[in-house]
Every structure is written in structure tokens, then in C-alpha cells.
Chains A and B, each alone.
Chain A
């Protein structure tokens, strides 16, 4: 297929970035994959074999690990050749500030999940005769969302807090009342 689409057109999406990387990155990936494949193969061979070897639980992981090892070797070999030929030898790491913000965001999401796990509680109460449950989900979500928005949006703090409160309540009511799904942070 010959596409009339220009090569420099970019789309936003999960696989927008897939393809050849700088040789050093491909070499690192190949090394990590080879190591994983070898560990999987050894672990597969150590699994018990209750019946025939043909139905051994380790058969498929062994085959998958072996083929992954072959693919990792091909990737590593290709990266080495490109590195030797001096193709794409530099790694442009992009905007360092963006990377720092990404790490901060990952940390905040991790802290949010930790909060849900370790601050779990449940309070049962009625509003106009209708039963409601307040769990750690609502306060932890409000604090986490306000914090994340505070870092990534320049709006006023009251607006961030108001959006976080409205969203946490909307999610809580939708999932608990409409779809009868208990929320994390409850028990």
C-alpha cells in the first residue's frame, strides 16, 4: 500500500510513537527482554509436570520465553548494527521539565491509591430518608484531584476544589446508587 499521507503527520494516541528507537534504547530494551525471557524459561522448567510433558504447565511459557529471547537477540543485533553505522546514535531526552512533571504526576497518582488503601473507612448516614455511604473515596479523591489540578492548571484554588468536590460526588452517586458498585476506600 502506498499512502499519500505525509510522513511528518502526527496523531495523538497510544501507539503514535511505536517504531525504531535510538540504538542505545533498543539495546537496553533487548537486554531487559533477554533477561526476562531467560528467567521465564528457567521458571517454566522448574514448574511441576503432573501429567504428560506435552500438557506441562510450563510448556507455553517455555515456548513464549524462548521465542521472546530470539526476538530480543534480533532487536539487540539490529541496534548494535545501527550503532556501529552511526545511525541515530544520539538520544534526545526532550523537555526535562515535562519529565519532572510526569514523575510528579505518577507520584501523586501513587499517593492517591495509597491513600485509598490505607485510609479506608465507612460512615453510614441518611439524607431525607435516603441511605448514603461516605468512604475514604470522597475525601481522598477531592484532595488528590485538587492537588493534581493545582499543579497542572493555573485556575483559582476555589475552582479546583469545587470541580474536585463535584466530580467526587458525581462519581460516588453514579457508581454506588445507579450501578450498585461499592467504591475503593470503603473497607
Chain B
């Protein structure tokens, strides 16, 4: 472990982590530019880097962009991602009272505390999960991949989980194009050699999260009100100490939720915000929703602790915790890093390097966030008509750079248009990414498992208790989703807007 930390102290890696963190903060701060979009687009930039630089850079982007959403949420009342909604409710109220700087300062500190807690829990629990994961055979890996797609679908479309599951299934079908992994039989290639290698998930990621957002937001005429000043940013020590217990509780909660495949920072943030309100003193409860520092701390600690938590299934099982972790997984795969139960055997020492990179990125986020608040406020005043077009060539290069193929650029363009269509029909896009990433795992493992079970009875299959538990978990997710959908339909009529 010490070797990994020493390696991280090299000036190039330090600079690259700082570059990733800074880019991530600025990206996350800009309304409409999400964490997953940042991760997807910058995979292209990391494609030309050596493995260690790419890992530091992408982890920096992930850490920075999760916090960055809080800046726009607090100052201009537009959270870039759902997990920043509680931050927006409390933080913007504080900003309107002239305490925007203090709200940002508390958010930065809470994000740092949450990030650190998540990483510490990751380091503590990953050996246990890794040793347990070695018991996972094909049957268990198949069900785990299905759980990842189902939970992601369930979480992404709130009142109608069915649409999330359908989106996941669409992603799965897209990933099945190309030569199959066992017999090398071309599937759905229509005789085109361009499709033999499959459809690039990086191009899909960039199209769905980059181009779709540009196509949706650039033509919109609405523009946010920009504050001219933020005031004092550094929080007082007394305030920090007062909210430490709430931060610790929310951090643990955020990390635990992050460890559930498919459940993202939005679930963590809302749950911590809600539990925080129930556990707060009556005096503090009265401030909830009207500009409470404790509420802000609960939301920000949990969504940053979620980063460490989401890395647990990503590294130990190869199942991304959320769409941003899926993008990180894609970046690692491009660098020939295969994560999963055998990561310690396949890449000795790499896991310690990733721990170190996470800690370093979190520390740099703390420093860079304070330094970047004022430049971010200046960036908000850039017209959308200038900022968004500049991202278009980045989308093109990002899709092109993986295989230097114009076909991938067209795939990205198609995915962007498809993303707009999905938005019109009110389907979520995040489960598609999980579907694209996890389908090959599900496909290969299902067929291997069936071959193993060829001559066995149903009783034998059910006696594989981990697989049976996972299968029951999938059924539970389906039942819970159906019940939630029915409840939502009884409570309110469907919205009539098509967009």
C-alpha cells in the first residue's frame, strides 16, 4: 500500500489528479452538465494517457463533479443532478439571505468529510467483499448483473420503474450486437464488419449524456439569474463541530447506499436529508427547508460518501454502483484493467493505487473547491449559446478517440438523437448505460451457468444459495417497483406534458 502512495506523490500524477478535480468541479458547477456527462466525455481525453495517469484523472473528475453540482444548486438554484436537489433547497435559501459563501463553505467541508468517510469504509470493507466475491460463479454473476440493471431502472424513473427497466433492456440489446463471446458468431451485424466489434459503449455514453443534453438545453430560451458576489466562504470551527455527528451518520448512510449496485447518489442524498430531519432537534427541524446548515451537511456528506460506496461493487464485483461508476469502469477497461473478484490477482497493488487516488482526489477537491468558487461564478455568466456549442467537438473527439473511427462518431450522434426521443417519451437514460456495460457479463455467465446446470435438477440450482438469494432480490426489486408504480398511479393523474 505504501508503494502506491509513494507512486501517487509523483508530480505528474499530482498535476493530473488536480486537473481532473478542477475540470470536474467546473463541469459539475455548470447547469445541465452532469457527472456522468463529464466522465463520458473525458474518457476520450484519458484514452491517450498511461494507465496510472488515466486512473488519477478520471477519479479526479468523478470526485470534483459530484461536488461541483452544489455550486450551481446553491448560487443559481439549478442543481445539475438529482442528488443536488436537497442542497439546492437549503443552500439557495441561505444564498438569498446573503450566506451563499457560508453555505458553499459548509458544502465543501461536508463533501470532503463524506468523501473521506466513504473511502475509509471502502478500504475497510473491500477485503471482506472480495473474499466473499470469490464464491461468485457464473450463476451468481448473471443475477448480480441483472440486479444492477433492475435497480438502476427502478431508481431512475421514480413513479414508473417499468420505463427504467425497459431502458436497461434496450441497453442490453444494444450490447449484444457483434461477435458473441463464446462461439464468435456474429449477432445482429447485418453483414457489416463495422458491427463485428460491437457498438462502442463510450460512444453511446457520450451521445446519451453529452449530445442529448446539448440538443435539449441549447435551444431552450430560459436563463438563470447570476449572483455577482458570494461573500465569506470559510466555515467557522464551531459550526463544523456542531454538525459532525449528523455528517458522520449521513456519510455512513451514503456509503452503504452507494454499495448497492444501481442505487446512486440521489437515493443517498434524499434519504440522508429525510433521516437528518427526523433526527434533528426541534429547533433545527423548524429550519429544515428554509435554509438549514445541518440539512445541507446531511445531503452533501451522503452524496460524496456515495463515491467510495459505489466503488465497492465496481471494484469487487465489476458491477458499477451507478452510471458515473459505469463510466469509470469503461475508462478502466480501456486501460486493460479488468475489475472484479480477481482484481488482486490480475492487477496486484492496483487496488491500493485506486484507494490512494480517491483519497488524493478528495483532498484536492477540498482545496480546489475553495479556489474555484469565484471563477465558477464568472463562468455562470457565459451565455449558454457560447458554452454548449463548445462541448460538441469534445463529444466528437471523445467518441472518435477510442478506436479512431468515424463510425463511432455516428454512433454517438445516433445515441444523442435517441436520447432526445427517450426524453420526449419520458424514459430515463442512465439504465441504458448500466444495460450496455452489464449485458456482456450477463450473457456470458448465463450460458456458462446453464452448461454447468445441464444435467442437474432444479433443487440443485436452488441449493446454490448465493444465486437463490440474488434471484429473490431481483424478484423483490420487481415487486417493489410494481407496487410503487401502482401507488403513484392511485395518488395522482399522469402529467399531460410530452416533454
Residues of A within 8 A of B385 (CB): 149, 152-155
Contact B498 A91 (CB under 8 A): yes
Task: Determine the residue in chain A with the shortest Cβ distance to B44.
Answer: A181
Contact A16 B82 (CB under 8 A): yes
Contact A92 B393 (CB under 8 A): no
Task: Determine the residue in chain A with the shortest Cβ distance to B172.
Answer: A64
Closest CB of chain A to B483's CB: distance in Å?
14
Closest CB of chain B to A128's CB: distance in Å?
24
Contact B162 A74 (CB under 8 A): yes
Q: Does B282 contact A (CB under 8 A)?
A: no
Residues of B within 8 A of A180 (CB): 48
A-contact bits for B435-479, CB 8 A (1 contact / 0 none): 000010011001110110010000000000000000000000000
Contact B450 A55 (CB under 8 A): yes
Residues of A within 8 A of B497 (CB): 22, 92, 94
Selecting from B343-351, B368-376, B401-409, the interface stretch reads: B401-409
B-contact bits for A1-42, CB 8 A (1 contact / 0 none): 111110001011111111111110110110001001000100
B-contact bits for A85-108, CB 8 A (1 contact / 0 none): 001111111110011011011100
Residues of A within 8 A of B390 (CB): 145, 163, 167
Contact A67 B169 (CB under 8 A): yes
Contact A15 B85 (CB under 8 A): no
- A15 and B429 in contact, given A74-B162, A98-B219, A184-B400 (Cβ under 8 angstroms): yes
Q: Does B51 contact A (CB under 8 A)?
A: no
Contact B499 A40 (CB under 8 A): no
Task: Determine the residue in chain A with the shortest Cβ distance to B275.
Answer: A1
Q: How many B residues touch the partner, as a band? A: 35 or more
For the complex, give the distance between the alpha carbons of A175 and B396 in Å.
12
For the complex, give the distance between the alpha carbons of A145 and B392 in Å.
8
Q: Does B36 contact A (CB under 8 A)?
A: yes
Interface residue from B84, B163, B176, B188 paired with A19 (Cβ < 8 Å): B163
- A12 and B392 in contact, given A1-B274, A163-B386 (Cβ under 8 angstroms): no
Task: Determine the residue in chain B with the shortest Cβ distance to A55.
Answer: B447
Closest CB of chain A to B409's CB: distance in Å?
6
Q: Does B32 contact A (CB under 8 A)?
A: yes
Selecting from B100-108, B110-118, B332-340, B420-428, the interface stretch reads: B420-428
Task: Determine the residue in chain B with the shortest Cβ distance to A50.
Answer: B183
Interface residue from B188, B383, B447 paired with A153 (Cβ < 8 Å): B383
Residues of B within 8 A of A182 (CB): 404
Contact A54 B84 (CB under 8 A): no
Closest CB of chain B to A179's CB: distance in Å?
4
For the complex, give the distance between the alpha carbons of A3 and B212 in Å.
29
- A18 and B218 in contact, given A153-B383, A184-B397 (Cβ under 8 angstroms): no
Selecting from B58-66, B128-136, B152-160, B354-362, the interface stretch reads: B152-160
Residues of A within 8 A of B439 (CB): 60, 64
Q: Does A165 contact B (CB under 8 A)?
A: no
Residues of A within 8 A of B383 (CB): 153, 155
B-contact bits for A55-74, CB 8 A (1 contact / 0 none): 11111110111011001101
Q: Does B430 contact A (CB under 8 A)?
A: yes
Closest CB of chain B to A55's CB: distance in Å?
4
- A13 and B219 in contact, given A64-B169, A71-B165 (Cβ under 8 angstroms): no
Q: Does A157 contact B (CB under 8 A)?
A: no
Closest CB of chain B to A22's CB: distance in Å?
6
Task: Determine the residue in chain A with the shortest Cβ distance to B446.
Answer: A60
Interface residue from A16, A21, A60 paired with B494 (Cβ < 8 Å): A21
Closest CB of chain A to B180's CB: distance in Å?
4
Interface residue from A11, A26, A113 paired with B409 (Cβ < 8 Å): A113
Q: Does B89 contact A (CB under 8 A)?
A: yes
Q: Does A109 contact B (CB under 8 A)?
A: yes
- A29 and B393 in contact, given A5-B86, A55-B451 (Cβ under 8 angstroms): no
Sample (21) of A-B pairs whose CB atoms are under 8 Å apart: A4-B288, A5-B89, A14-B34, A14-B429, A19-B495, A21-B425, A25-B498, A26-B425, A51-B183, A55-B448, A61-B187, A87-B493, A91-B498, A113-B413, A116-B396, A149-B385, A155-B385, A163-B390, A167-B393, A171-B397, A179-B48
For the complex with contacts A13-B82, A59-B447, A91-B496, 6 further pairs of A-B residues with Cβ separation under 8 Å are A19-B159, A29-B427, A60-B442, A71-B169, A179-B47, A183-B397
